[in-house]
Structure 1
Amino acid sequence: MARQRQERAVRTRDALIQAAAETFDENGFSGAGINRILERAGVTPGAMYFHFKSKEDLARAVIVEQAAALRLPEQPSGIQQLVNLTLYLAGEMQRNVRFRAGVRLAVDQTEGGVQDFTVYEWWGEKFRQELLAARARDELLEDVDEAECARVLVAAYTGTQLMSQLSTGRADLPQQIVAMWRYLLPGIARPRTVSRVTVDAALSVAA
């Protein structure tokens, strides 16, 4: 019986996060009503407040857990994998509502007093590990600082996806990430690495 209750609680929490992600994605934080989220999740207010203290708390969970269902590489392997990862994320921004909502909330944290920088740190560390692997493979230019470069990449990716959202509803996001790399790669990677790395918008589907 205890196991069944625990499994039910996990399902309820997941349903709330999914419903919240869909509602935040459609309406933003301010336009997302708690009643709409509850209706979509098919749960009672009591069930929600068992897991989350407020709408802000629920939004924070969507931000922090945005990558939970993504198929991310388990081991870093350098520049090509970093490129592949960013293009895969571009595709997920188009088709994965939970990831997209988490990113939207992370970018616009002025609404509702939701403040959480940890997701940016998490992605920065993910990118840094790939850059460290690239360093071990002698793919990086000598003066590249892996931590600083990772932070710049997170910022560049965030700005690129935001501009793509505003201009085309992210329809051209994979192509814009390709353009981002066209200019960034020569600044961080050795010429021989640049020449052999594949940067193709098709990776947003195939990654």
Structure 2
Amino acid sequence: MAKQERAIRTRRAILEAAGAVFDEHGYTSTTIAMVLERADVTKGALYFHFPSKESLAQAVLDEQVDFGAVPPQSSKLQEIIDTTFVVARRLLGDALLRGSVRLTVDQCAPPGVDHTGPFLQWADHLMGLMEQAREQGELLPAVEPRETVELLVGGFAGIQLMSRALTGREDLGHRISVLWGHILPSLAVPGLLRRLDAEPDRGARVLAALESAGS
């Protein structure tokens, strides 16, 4: 059991180190030596878990959607909103998530690294919530859930890139709030619209509630 726990910790340390290095340098410029130095593990330990740089990059990418977990809400539109704000907030402090997002939009990664995974996984996750929102009568009649979800996923990807370039993502909460301010009136029924919370600090408040519930 102790050996298994050490292996889990080692794998996590490698992933977090790789996320930081991929975020800072991109796929092409990242080397295994950089990850080894950052993770402070042996080459044998790294290759035990990840046989190649491609497999390491894929593992970093596969971690992304888990960072969007939020508490359930009676309004599924609010839950979707919360997901975007929580990811935006976590991007400020989590190197593994930043590395995963960097790899998602890094066009220099080889064909063996699947860029489509995070986009498809996010779309599927949000699609489930959007369908529940429709069943609960939260959406305007003309809303097409799949198209709306793909717009949100693509819009978030572009906005976080712009925020990263201009402010190191410090203004990402504000930018996501502006995005929702434009989108929500075309999605939510009027009775719900005024009750939805898309203020810039929403991510910080949701994360604080999660941490409080877990303590």
TM-score, normalised on structure 2? 0.87
The CA distance in 2 between the partners of 1:59 and 1:36, in whole Å, is: 13
* Residue 123 of structure 1, CA deviation: 0.9
Note if contact 1:140-1:188 (Cα within 8 Å) is conserved in structure 2.
Answer: yes
Note if contact 2:73-2:79 (Cα within 8 Å) is conserved in structure 1.
Answer: no
The CA distance in 2 between the partners of 1:75 and 1:205, in whole Å, is: 16
The CA distance in 1 between the partners of 2:86 and 2:139, in whole Å, is: 22
Assess, with a 3 A threshold, how the Cα gap between structure 1 residues 107 and 145 changes in structure 2: closer, same or farther: same
Note if contact 1:76-1:129 (Cα within 8 Å) is conserved in structure 2.
Answer: no
Note if contact 1:76-1:133 (Cα within 8 Å) is conserved in structure 2.
Answer: no
* Residue 53 of structure 1, CA deviation: 1.6
- Which deviates further from its counterpart, 24-33 or 11-20? 24-33
DSSP 3-state at the match of 1:111: coil
Amino acid at match of 1:11: R
DSSP 3-state at the match of 2:194: helix
**Superposed CA RMSD:** 1.9
In the alignment, what sits opposite 1:181? 180
Aligned length: 205
DSSP 3-state at the match of 2:70: coil
Percent identity of the aligned residues?
Answer: 38
The CA distance in 2 between the partners of 1:5 and 1:63, in whole Å, is: 26
Moved beyond 6 Å, runs of 4+: none
* Residue 70 of structure 1, CA deviation: 5.3
Pairing 1:1-207 to 2, within 5 Å after superposition: 3-68=1-66, 71-73=69-71, 77-113=75-111, 114-207=113-206
* Residue 87 of structure 1, CA deviation: 1.2
TM-score, normalised on structure 1? 0.90
The CA distance in 1 between the partners of 2:164 and 2:41, in whole Å, is: 32
Q: Which ranges in structure 2 are unaligned for 5 or more consecutive residues? A: 207-215
* Residue 65 of structure 1, CA deviation: 0.9
Q: Which ranges in structure 1 are unaligned for 5 or more consecutive residues? A: none
The CA distance in 1 between the partners of 2:163 and 2:124, in whole Å, is: 24
1:21-64 alpha-carbon deviations (Å, 9 max, x no partner): 11112222222221121122122112211111211110111111
* Residue 111 of structure 1, CA deviation: 2.9
Amino acid at match of 2:146: A
